[in-house]
C-alpha cells in the first residue's frame, strides 16, 4: 500500500468524502491548507450533494486540475491548458470507470451494490489522483 492510499484511508476514516480527499491530497502535496476550499468540496460528494449525479471523484479531479491551472485572483490568468486537461480527465474516467460500471454518475458507478462505496470509490479516488498528476506532468506543470 502506497503513501497516498494510506493517507486516503485516514481521511476517509475522518469522514471526508471523495472530492474532499482529492483536494486534501493536492493541497498537502503543495504544502498548503485551505479549510474553506475543502468545506466547499463537500457539495460535490455523492454526485452533487448525494443526489447520484456526476461522480464527485470526477468533478473533484477537475477541481484539483483547477487548483493548479485555474485563476484565483483578479491578477492571475487561467492557464490555457486547463480545459484540455479536464477534457482528457473526463475521457479517461469515462473510458475506464464509466465503461466498466455503466456511466459517470454516482448512481451508475455504485449501482445497487451496498459495498461499492468501500470497494470502488477508494480505487477511483486513487486512480483519479494519479491520473490528475500524470496530466499535470504531461502538460508541463511542476508538482
Q: Mind listing the pLDDT tens digit for each residue in 98-108? A: 999 999 999 99
Q: Which of 135, 137, 37 is nearest to 93 (CA)?
A: 135
Q: For 68-77, which contacts have Cβ atoms below 8 Å and span 24 or more sequence positions?
A: 68/26, 68/136, 68/141, 69/136, 69/141
For the CA atoms of 127, 140, 88, 39, the dihedral, rounded to the nearest 10 degrees, stands at 60
pLDDT at 1 over 90: no
pLDDT value at residue 4: 85
Q: Is 1 helix (H, G, I), strand (E, B) or coil?
A: coil
* Domain spans, the chain: 3-138
**Rounded distance between C-alpha atoms, residue 135 and residue 141, angstroms:** 9
The whole model's pTM is what?
Answer: 0.94
pLDDT value at residue 5: 87
Amino acid at each position: 500500500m502506497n503513501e497516498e492510499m494510506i493517507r486516503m484511508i485516514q481521511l476517509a476514516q475522518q469522514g471526508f468524502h471523495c472530492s474532499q480527499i482529492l483536494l486534501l491530497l493536492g493541497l498537502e502535496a503543495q504544502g498548503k491548507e485551505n479549510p474553506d476550499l475543502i468545506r466547499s468540496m463537500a457539495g460535490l460528494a455523492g454526485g452533487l450533494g448525494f443526489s447520484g449525479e456526476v461522480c464527485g471523484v470526477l468533478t473533484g479531479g477537475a477541481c484539483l486540475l483547477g487548483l493548479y491551472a485555474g485563476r484565483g485572483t483578479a491578477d492571475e490568468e487561467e492557464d490555457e491548458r486547463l480545459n484540455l486537461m479536464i477534457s482528457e480527465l473526463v475521457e479517461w474516467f469515462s473510458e475506464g470507470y464509466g465503461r466498466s460500471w455503466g456511466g459517470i454518475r454516482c448512481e451508475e458507478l455504485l449501482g445497487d451494490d451496498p459495498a461499492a462505496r468501500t470497494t470502488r470509490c477508494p480505487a477511483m479516488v486513487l486512480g483519479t489522483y494519479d491520473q490528475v498528476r500524470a496530466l499535470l506532468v504531461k502538460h508541463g506543470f511542476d508538482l
